[in-house]
Amino acid sequence: DPAQDKRALLEFLTIMRPTRSLNWNESSSVCRTWTGVTCNQDGSRIVAVRLPGVGLNGQIPPNTISRLSALRVLSLRSNRISGHFPADFSELKDLAFLYLQYNTFSGPLPLDFSVWKNLTSVNLSNNGFNGTIPDSLSRLNRIMSLNLANNSLSGDIPDLGGLSTLQHIDLSNNDLNGPIPNWLRRFPSSSSQGTGVIPPGDVDHFRPPRDETRRKPKTRFFGLTETVFLLIVIAISIVVIAVLAFVFTVCYVRRKLRRGGGGMVSDNSNKMQKKGGMSPEKFVSRMEDANNRLSFFEGCNYSFDLEDLLRASAEVLGKGTFGTTYKAVLEDATSVAVKRLKDVAAGKRDFEQQMEIIGGIKHENVVELKAYYFSKDEKLMVYDYFSHGSVASLLHGNRGENRIPLDWETRMSIAIGAAKGIARIHKENNGKLVHGNIKSSNIFLNSERYGCVSDLGLTAVMSALAPPISRQAGYRAPEVTDTRKSSQLSDVYSFGVVLLELLTGKSPIHTTAGDEIIHLVRWVHSVVREEWTAEVFDIELLRYANIEEEMVEMLQIAMSCVVKVPDQRPKMSDLVRLMQNVGNRRASLEPKPKSENGGASETSTPNLNFRFNNLESYAMKSNGRFVQNVDVIVLQKKHREFRIDEKSERSDLHGAEELEETGFRIGIHTDEDDERDETDMSHDFRLLQRPICPLLRNLQRRHKRLLFFSVVGSSRRCSQHISRRRH
Ligand SMILES: Nc1ncnc2c1ncn2[C@@H]1O[C@H](COP(=O)(O)OP(=O)(O)OP(=O)(O)O)[C@@H](O)[C@H]1O
């Protein structure tokens, strides 16, 4: 912890006595737990303090905040801070974002702004600052936004025309003199829309001074006499008032109509929002009745309030089952994802209870809920924003030339991470919490590029499960479609679909060129059942060497998740173990390849068991079809006797009498009544790896249709002997 910085903040807190209690205390970690405080990466310094609307009172004590010499962001907006602009803020040399608006500061602005070379955004509006606007502002070479509106500043406007970075400026409602300088005319109100540090509107105008009597008008304005000038002003005012009245009436009527329609957001407004982002005015109007605050979770470093959120520029990310998600960019350039829920059935208490459960989950593979909001008309959930997009967009988005394919390593990490996250969720609430909406658009990549799941636990607070929109239908377990009730086992099914998506690169429901609708689970089943060919795997994966076995193992895992009968699906925690074994085995193989006659390592044993057993059960489940479709049978007999037989010797086979005469494939067959335990079987299985490789190679030479994944269960070394073949 940065001890010095911490002490400075504690001193600040003791004197300022905020009315909203902050969880700052000596014993807790400032970087990890203190509300509104952000540290740098190595935790050695505090770089941001954001305390908007926490009820800070009185003057900022000297030598407190100013000791945070690494500070980049300072937001003390919407408090009751009084006194002069703190002179010692000049010590904050790195300051880039300064927000002191909506306080009761008075006195002059600092004379020398040039001490803050990195200053990017300054908002000192809505205070009682007086005196002139300092010329030194013109030396802020990085300034992008300057808001000094609603103060009592007087005198001329300095020449800020040389500030090429300046994008927003608001000097309105001051006692400034003189004509609007030319450089200021390059700020049309439209230029601020949607880019968001300062809300649109009022950017390029001077409003009339608040106190006309304080102003000493000059006798000539733009060369006109005072009377003519006044007449023009009155005429313009009448026109402006008429326009405002018209706009107001239109808005009022539209709002009425919308309310009459019964829905919280009408289709029309949705369309509009989709095109142009969330309409801030509408959003605000729905909040009017609610003076509730955003509820932040313990340890959350954000400290913006509802008002900040409403003022942020917003962009629709997408409309999902439970509502619409926006990207909101706050005044300090922090981006958050805000989910606006629709059709919440739960009352305030139940909703809050569920949010507390969700927000209480802190796990590297679960997207943390940072805050929520509940009012009669509006329910919001706030998350970190993931700039790289979801797994869905990484897999299916940008199929053009610039596409960066998702490599196998990353797909494995996504799968393992997401499984861990879901397993963690399933432990919550006495092991009863259900995610309820697992799909690739709800999985993101965490900082280690592992999967991280979002959007959990909402089914419990929503009105009856919505009819699936087609995107979601492909993930729903069959029993959920029938009963409209999700469970942990239906989560496993949905996760299996995500695995299939990662393996095939195909969406759960997609159309072929001939407009035929393909259901991914059914398609994979049919390919595997009828051909067992490499066609199933994403073509992008074929460029990576030596991953066939892993792909097949993952395919088997995925298929075990999407079986129809819920009870036959594995548990999430088992899936984590199985998939880790797939990855671990590779990790243990890659640095030190095993000798030809060496056995599998300890870590690989359970994995071999799994694959072996899974193949066996697959053969049985499909009524021996797997066995029938092979050319070479690895025959396992009791008491560790093994034979590798070509189809000519099929009389030795148990249960495969119908072996077809065409095609050559390889399979594994075990005696059904073999009751040896798994350890024995894996041991045996290792033995049979040795002779199989050269045999496969020979077979491949002779029979062109030999397919690589028929080598399931053989050792990795076989891939050196057998090249991949596709139909
Ligand atoms: N925290 C986030 N960061 C970045 N993008 C996000 C975030 N949360 C959601 N999104 C994206 O926003 C879009 C809409 O998300 P939303 O969760 O509302 O719908 P969905 O995932 O398509 O469906 P559902 O509501 O069923 O989960 C999706 O593309 C999603 O990937």
Residues 136-180 pLDDT 10s = 999 998 887 888 988 999 888 888 888 887 777 888 888 887 777
Backbone angles phi, psi at 450, to 5 degrees: -95, 155
Nearest Cα residue to atom 23 of ligand 1: 320
Return the pLDDT at 408: 92
Pocket probe mutation, ligand 1, options 319, 343, 441, 458, max atoms within 8 Å of Cβ: 441
pLDDT digits (tens, 9 = 90+) for 62-108: 999 999 999 988 989 888 899 999 999 999 999 988 989 889 999 99
Question: How confident is the model over 618-632, as pLDDT tens digits?
Answer: 332 223 333 333 334
End-to-end CA distance of the chain: 61
Q: What is the pLDDT of residue 145?
A: 81
Residue with the bigger pLDDT between 441 and 533: it is 441
Atom 27, ligand 1: which residue's CA is nearest?
A: 320
Of the listed ranges 49-63, 440-454, 472-486, 652-666, the one predicted with least confidence: 652-666
For residue 615, how far is its CA from the centre of ligand 1 (angstroms)?
Answer: 37
Judged on CB neighbours under 10 Å (0-12, 13-18, 19+), 339 is buried
pLDDT digits (tens, 9 = 90+) for 184-194: 877 654 333 33
Measured between alpha carbons, how far is 636 from 175 in angstroms, rounded to an integer?
A: 94
The residue whose CA has the least distance to atom 13 of ligand 1 is 318
Shortest-distance atom of ligand 1 to CA 392: 31
The whole-number pLDDT of residue 211 equals 35
Sheet bearing 379-384, strands edge to edge: 295-296, 369-374, 379-384, 335-341, 323-329, 313-319
Pocket perturbation via mutation, ligand 1, pick of 273, 344, 369, 442 by most ligand atoms within 8 A of CB: 442
Q: What pTM value is reported for the model? A: 0.52
Q: Which atom of ligand 1 lies at the shortest distance from residue 385's CA?
A: 3
List residues bridging with 15 in a β-sheet: none
Average pLDDT, integer, range 23-43? 86
Residue 232 Cα to ligand 1 midpoint, Å, equals 52
How far, in Å, is the centroid of ligand 1 from the Cα of 225? 60
Mind giving me the DSSP string for 131-200? EEPPGGGGG-TT--EEE--SSEEEEPPP--TT-TT--EEE--SSEE-SPPPGGGGG--GGGGTTT-SS-S
368 or 662, higher pLDDT: 368
- Are 500 and 558 contacting, i.e. CB atoms less than 8 angstroms apart? yes
CA of 390 to the centre of ligand 1 (A): 8
Q: Which pLDDT belongs to residue 401?
A: 67
Question: What's the pLDDT score for residue 71?
Answer: 93
CB count within 10 Å of CB 460 equals 20
User: Measuring from atom 22 of ligand 1, which residue has the nearest CA?
Assistant: 320
pLDDT in tens, 216-267: 334 445 556 667 778 888 888 888 888 888 888 777 766 654 443 322 233 3
How many CB atoms lie under 10 A from the CB of residue 680? 14
Q: What is the band of 483 on the pLDDT scale with cuts at 50, 70, 90?
A: confident
Q: Are 165 and 188 in contact (CB under 8 A)?
A: no
Name the residue of 273, 315, 325, 367 to mutate for ligand 1: max ligand atoms within 8 A of Cβ: 325
Residue having the nearest C-alpha atom to atom 14 of ligand 1: 318
Q: What is the mean pLDDT of residues 124-143?
A: 91
What is the distance in A from the centroid of ligand 1 to the CA of 318?
6
Q: Which residue has better confidence, 57 or 197? A: 57
pLDDT at 357 over 60: yes
308 residue type, one letter:
D
Q: Is the pLDDT of residue 201 over 90?
A: no
Whose tokens are 């050695």? That residue is 44
| Candidate from 370, 390, 476, 498 with most ligand 1 atoms within 8 A of CB, to mutate | 390
Greatest C-alpha distance within the chain: 115
pLDDT in tens, 360-416: 899 999 999 998 988 888 889 999 999 888 999 999 887 666 677 889 999 999 999
Ligand 1: distance of its center to the CA of 558 in Å?
23
Ligand 1 pocket list (CB less than 6 A): 317-318, 320-325, 337, 339, 383-386, 390, 437, 441-442, 454-455, 472
Q: Which residues contact 275 (CB under 8 A, 6 or more apart)?
A: none
On whether 647 is known to bind a ligand per the annotation, the reply is no
- What local confidence, expressed as pLDDT, does residue 68 receive? 95
**pLDDT reading at 295 higher than 60:** yes
| Mean pLDDT over the full length of the chain | 71
In eight-state DSSP terms, residue 123 is: E
Residue 332, burial from CB neighbour count under 10 angstroms (0-12, 13-18, 19+): buried
